[in-house]
Structure 1
């Protein structure tokens, strides 16, 4: 009996000591990770306990020479995929390898971009972080400034063959089997965390594509309209469409780098909604979507669309691209092509439209289904956007553009009359 009591007392003491050690360890960890007032913090789980932790403190601990070796050889299950960690003692570098890896890129749409492998290295010198991020043959360097309030990252990708960049997505882009891709890509980007402020400056040189067979599209017929468009680039509707959808149409080679940069930044900032908020597609890219790639919202579709657009600029030329777009563009309610839209909404051929009517039709193209539904239910046009399109029609003298835009807001304008007549 005495032995049992002694054993029970010893076990009780050991359990009490263990509990005290666990509590002490928890208090130490909580103290080490406790965020200071105004410091960047996140919620983490330690066993059954969840606590607020300083993100700068977590980064310092993860890259500390006395703690980082404990991470060597470990695998962490992340939402991107399994992340394998390694500590390189000679260079004091923490390396992470995600394979396969799904990278969420709001700038390219809601769907994640999947690559075979993504590699990241991290070194820390005081409050300065730096390293490399690479996948396939593409390698960029990054730097970070760690402060109490967050982390400001800068990434630089040197000139890299476009073919190597596209090769990262080979499984998702079947056209890579026959496409010949030339040119180079470079970019610089900044990202501030946790706020998410993002900027990016891409640079593309000598981008050309061949081998996709887009020359066969020269006589493509619309699947939803039997009437071929006879519009010329000088027609009011053609001018209005360019003003509405692609004001630098005659200046780019199938993609608008300035508009693309602006859209990437805006869409990255709209990441909580999980979908892109601004488009940057040129008329050529829109034509590629209409004729070849479809309208699936995915990064792979956008990358495929870009390949076709660049080749179409060479095989079709600007005037043919514009004519094909006008013949295939959707105008809502199943209406397809400029001729069908003009006859449906104004009862006349597209060549007979005046500038105001052309501007209204072109203003529908940013969201034809919604604009057609709005017109059908209210008999009203999108005045603000139509005025914006009119002001972009440079072939009209400025004073005339201003007068026409002002008249659009007046009841009884001819555009309104045409709609009301058709609605009845």
Structure 2
């Protein structure tokens, strides 16, 4: 064969290959083109930017011809490296992300660091099902294993997930293996969970169940007689106005829950999803006390998990009365003021037990954002009324309706700076 002919054949082969790639790309882009109102994600191919339909991508990825091409490939994603494997005998797609950074924006800004996350997907027309497994990277080690079903509908994916009863200790080992408390804590009980999620924009609804949750070994019993670094204790009693107001503002089911409040956590999760960040904490007084004494203010899911351990143990070692006293004697009231007694004397020149209802309500309302409220008080002498009025309306513990109305009226006078 002459060199000229060989060159022509080579050029023709390259042209055919290029044409095939272009046609395949065009077909793929056509198949992935989102329909109006369909769930879409940005897609970059070289210098070109476009959008791809997520439902169409899921259909392609779980269809035998394309899934065979995916087999063995490794993708770099924002969550971590994802290894793909297609099993032809049962038409299942397997994904493994190790290590994997899972965002938890509704619980805090820092992602959860998972050693290994595995997903197995089966698809039958528009229905999907499979298994999600998170573990410590060891095949026979602690694991969280949940089953899911999903349906491609309405331009999105309706997903349901079920985690059967699993030791809470295993959940901690998988979700937060780096916690220092796990070296000494003895964690009992089981967690089960059901969740529904309408992707992409629907809310995530979670129904967790915790049974027999116990914690030992963290040493919270030492706080039974500990003194506060905030100064003199308030010696408040349950019927005092500041106690009623703090419970109304921060933890209305304090005497009913075991250190955590599932209903409040669900409400906080929904609110944070809707607002796109952490706007509502969902923490009980026990968890807030753990934050104040041990974990600090870092906004992260792991901090929440640490607080939960301390809160559960405190409920068992200290009891409600001591937890409430410790909270009041250590709570922050803005600009370096801490403890109920120091706050009452600093803002109103009287002891915490002598506060009038409106004064107690305003101090309780400050706990929502103490530094900002303290700065406003010191600069203008007035208060932010909306939050305080809400707290007054939530007063319970023997508070009569006319007392709530009187407190609200007094708040309006307190909200006006002195001339």
Q: Quickly name the TM-score band, shorter chain normalised.
A: over 0.9
Alignment: residue pair count:
411
CA drift at 1:36: 2.8
* Structure 2 CA distance for partners of 1:37 and 1:388, relative to 1, 3 Å: closer
Q: Distance in 2 between matches of 1:248 and 1:35?
A: 47
- Which residue of structure 2 aligns with residue 265 of structure 1? 270
Partner of 1:400: 403
Matches of residues 122-271 of structure 1 in structure 2 within 5 Å?
122-136=121-135, 137-223=143-229, 225-271=230-276
Secondary structure in 2 aligned to 1:227?
Answer: coil
User: Displacement, 1:270?
Assistant: 3.4
**Aligned residue in 1 for 2:140:** none
Of 377-386 and 238-247, more deviation after overlay is shown by 377-386
Q: Secondary structure at the match of 2:239?
A: coil
CA contact (8 A) 1:202 1:257 kept: yes
Write the distance in 1 (CA, Å) between the matches of 2:51 and 2:247.
53
Unaligned runs of 5+ in 1: none
- Counterpart-to-counterpart distance in 2, 1:40 and 1:297: 30
Task: Please name the residue that 2:317 is paired with.
Answer: 315
Query: 337, 348, 353: which one pairs with 2:355?
Result: 353
Alpha-carbon distance change, 15 to 70 in structure 1, aligned in 2, over 3 angstroms: closer
Give the CA deviation at 1:406: 3.2
Written as runs of structure 1 = structure 2, the 5 A alignment for 1:375-390 is: 375-390=377-392
Post-superposition offset of 1:8:
5.7
Distance 2:173 2:15 in 1: 59
Alpha-carbon displacement from aligned partner over 1:304-332 (angstroms, at most 9, x marks no partner): 11000001011111111111111111100
Q: Secondary structure of 2:360's partner?
A: helix
TM-score normalised over the length of structure 2: 0.92
Distance of 1:279 and 1:255 partners within structure 2: 12
Mapped contact 1:105–1:268 kept (Cα < 8 A): no
Rate the CA distance shift 1:19–1:160 in 2: closer, same or farther, 3 A: closer
Shift in alpha-carbon separation, 1:89–1:401, aligned structure 2, 3 A = same
Please state how far the C-alpha of 1:63 moved relative to its aligned partner: 0.4
Distance (Å, rounded) in 2 between the aligned partners of 1:74 and 1:221: 59
Aligned pair in 2 of structure 1 residues 19, 100: CA closer, same or farther (>3 Å)?
closer
Contact 2:186 2:217 in 1 (8 A): yes
Measured at CA, do residues 18 and 384 of structure 1 come closer, stay the same or move farther in structure 2, by a change above 3 Å?
same
**CA–CA separation in structure 1 for the residues paired with 2:123 and 2:180:** 41
Provide the C-alpha distance between the structure 2 equivalents of 1:89 and 1:10, rounded to a whole number of angstroms. Answer: 37
CA positional deviation for 1:38: 3.2
- Structure 1 residue 34, shift from structure 2 partner: 2.3
Tell me the CA shift for residue 209 of structure 1.
0.9
Deviates more, 1:13-22 or 1:88-97: 13-22
| CA shift for structure 1 position 14 | 4.4
Offset of residue 359 of structure 1? 0.6
The superposition leaves residues 373-421 of structure 1 with CA deviations (integer Å, 9 ceiling, x where unpaired) of 1112222112122122122222221122123313422xxx3x458x749
**Unpaired segments ≥5 residues, structure 2:** 136-142
Is the 8 Å Cα contact of residues 233 and 322 (structure 1) preserved in structure 2?
no
Q: Could you tell me how far 1:154 is from its partner in structure 2?
A: 0.9
Q: Is the 8 A contact 2:107 2:269 kept in 1?
A: yes
The alignment's TM-score, normalised by the length of structure 1, stands at 0.91
- The separation in 2 between residues aligned to 1:408 and 1:382, in whole angstroms, is 10
Given that 1:289 and 1:305 are in contact with CA atoms closer than 8 Å, whether structure 2 keeps it comes out as: yes
RMSD value, Cα: 2.0
Higher deviation after alignment, 389-398 or 210-219? 389-398
Distance 1:92 1:343 in 2: 71
- How many angstroms does 1:11 deviate by? 5.1
Separation in 1, partners of 2:33, 2:130 = 27
